[in-house]
Chain A
Amino acid sequence: MGEVQFEGLVAMSSYYDIDSILTDAQKVPCTFELTVPGLGYIDGNLGQDMKQGTKVELPLWLGEMLAVSNNITLDNPSCLSPRVLNALKADPKTVDLRALAPHFYGLGARMLELYPYPDLIDTLSDTLKTRAAVIADQAHNPRGAIGEGADFLRGLDETERQLFRAAHDSAKGVRMWIAVQKKK
């Protein structure tokens, strides 16, 4: 698991990790800092130039590379807007993270690599911890996934889904062992 690190960003931390690839494919709003000839097709203007100051949504991997070379600026994605962060501070359990971004924490971590948002680190950590406690309870409760927990579980981002699966599978492993023990 070698890590190649350039210019302060961990770019290839997990080369074959599908979640890492999907995180990089999420779109972030960008603003072009200079006029690029012939690039207008990205914005739907075939054959035109990409004007300076145009706002477009680019995949994170592309936006990141262009931002590092100062061709564009990355804007704060809507899922990390102050409105969402305030909602997360108020009650992390009621926010539908999946609707905001399927790889919400991944996107947050990647944005943190590019720009320091000291407040964001605390908000995301507290969100993950609070929601993880609920996830663990739901994963151990056999009715959790179909009863009142269904709405919450539908709003889990990919990291949280993996946590749910991990908690559920390990509890199931122990239950299975006890059941096999009884058959002997």
Chain B
Amino acid sequence: MALPLPPGLTPPEIAFLCEMELVTIIPRQRLEGLKLLGGPTPPLTPPHRTNLPLWLALLLKRQKRANIAPPPWLSPSSLGEILDLETGLSTFSPPPNLSFKPLSSTSTSTPTPISPPFTPSSTASAPSDALPYHWLELGEILLEAAADDFDDPDAVRRLLRDLRDARMAKVRAMVEKLEAGGGVRIAGVGGMEVAEGRAFLGGVVDGLRKIEARREKEEDGGGSGDDDMDDL
């Protein structure tokens, strides 16, 4: 109750998590592999492309030691196709297929199921037809830090804005489907969109729960109705 922040993550926190995503860079200078807490980074040799975490890639980019290759889905043609798909669907465009194998250069152990940010969903080899979990954050960060690595940054920026508007309208339309007791499938929603919709949608569900508390109690058979209230 005394916490100043609402539940969930704030946009800067989500952007921070997004910086763990792997991106592909084209190094301009030689750099030995670094032994970091999150695992060793591959050594950089100038003409060869390498996958690095976004935060390190941004650091090298700001020092003009590397160029960042934008992921395939962040091209005007892919974004245009996804936007067409998005405006035609009443649901969100499907997330990318997550059945990647872990990259051999970053993982030596046996393949285990992995989820963002450990999937290479934003490297140069990522699928071009679907938006990954951190699409909005990654797009905005790359457009600001590495605009010169894009062919047409203004078109990408415009398409990102259109996509965001189209998808946020869907998040808002979701209230019609909400129920006090039921869940809603929101596959394909990005991290920043969850952060943006959480407070509002959570508030609506809270309101519905208060109104329908009576019905829940009756369905539970009266006496045992307080069990699920304690879970909150």
Answer whether A and B are interacting partners: yes
Q: Quick one: which of A106, A133, A170 contacts B199, CB cutoff 8 A? A: A170
Q: Are A170 and B172 in contact (CB under 8 A)?
A: no
**Of all chain A residues, which has the CB nearest B193?**
A174
Interface residues in B141-178 (C-beta closer than 8 Å to A): 141, 144-145, 168, 172-173, 175-176, 178
Interface residue? A167 (CB, 8 A): yes
Task: Write the chain B residue with the least CB distance to A109.
Answer: B210
Query: In the complex the two chains form, what is the Cα distance from A128 to B161 in whole Å?
Result: 30
Number of residue pairs A-B, CB distance < 8 angstroms: 107
A residues 147-182 touching B (CB-CB < 8 Å): 159, 162-163, 166-167, 169-171, 173-174, 176-178, 180-182
A1 at the binding interface (Cβ < 8 Å): yes
- Contact call A136/B230, Cβ cutoff below 8 A: no
Does any Cβ of B come within 8 Å of A124's Cβ?
Answer: yes
A36 to B213, CA, bound (A): 34
Min CB gap B68→A, angstroms: 15
Alpha-carbon distance A177/B18, docked complex (angstroms): 13
Q: Which of B1-43 contact A (CB under 8 A)?
A: 1, 6, 10-12, 15
**Interface size class, chain A:** 35 or more
Contact check, B207 vs A128: say whether CB atoms are below 8 A apart. Answer: yes
CA of A106 to CA of B207 in the docked complex: distance in angstroms?
Answer: 9
**Distance of A106 Cα from B218 Cα, bound (Å):** 19
B173 touches A182 (CB 8 A): no
Which one, B15, B204, B213, B232, contacts A163 given CB within 8 A?
A: B204
Q: Taking the complex as formed, is B84 at the interface, i.e. its CB lies under 8 A from any CB of chain A?
A: no
Counting CB contacts under 8 A, is B140 at the interface? yes
Name which residue of chain B comes closest to A117, CB basis: B214
**Complex interface residues of chain A between 30 and 77 (CB less than 8 A to chain B):** none
A residues within 8 A CB of B222? Answer: 8
Shortest CB distance B15–A (Å)? 6
**Which residue of the partner chain, among A1, A10, A167, A173, contacts B213 with CB atoms under 8 Å?**
A10
- Decide: A174 and B226 in contact? CB cutoff 8 A: no
Any B CB within 8 A of the CB of A113 = yes
Check A99 for interface membership: any CB of B closer than 8 A: no
Q: Take A106-B210, A129-B176, A173-B10 as given contacts and tell me if A163 and B200 are in contact as well, using a CB distance cutoff of 8 Å.
A: yes
A166 engages B11 (CB within 8 Å): no
- The interface residues of chain B lying within 8 Å CB-to-CB of A133 are 172-173, 175-176
Contact A132 B204 (CB under 8 A): yes
Give bound CA distance, A14 to B156, whole Å. 48
Q: Does B208 contact A (CB under 8 A)?
A: yes
Q: Is B64 an interface residue (CB 8 A)?
A: no
Chain B residues with CB under 8 A of A113? 213-214
B12 and chain A: residue at smallest CB distance: A177
Contact call A128/B204, Cβ cutoff below 8 A: yes
User: Does B65 interact with chain A (Cβ within 8 Å)?
Assistant: no
What 7 A-B pairs are tightest by C-beta distance, nearest first?
A177-B11, A166-B199, A136-B172, A167-B200, A112-B214, A109-B210, A132-B175
A-B contacts, 25 of them at CB < 8 A, read A1-B232, A3-B230, A8-B217, A8-B222, A109-B213, A113-B213, A113-B214, A118-B215, A121-B212, A125-B211, A128-B211, A130-B176, A132-B204, A133-B172, A136-B200, A159-B203, A163-B204, A166-B6, A166-B203, A170-B195, A173-B11, A173-B196, A174-B195, A174-B196, A184-B144
Chain A positions near chain B (C-beta within 8 angstroms): 1, 3, 5, 8, 10, 16, 105-106, 108-109, 112-113, 116, 118, 121, 124-125, 128-130, 132-133, 136-137, 139-140, 159, 162-163, 166-167, 169-171, 173-174, 176-178, 180-182, 184
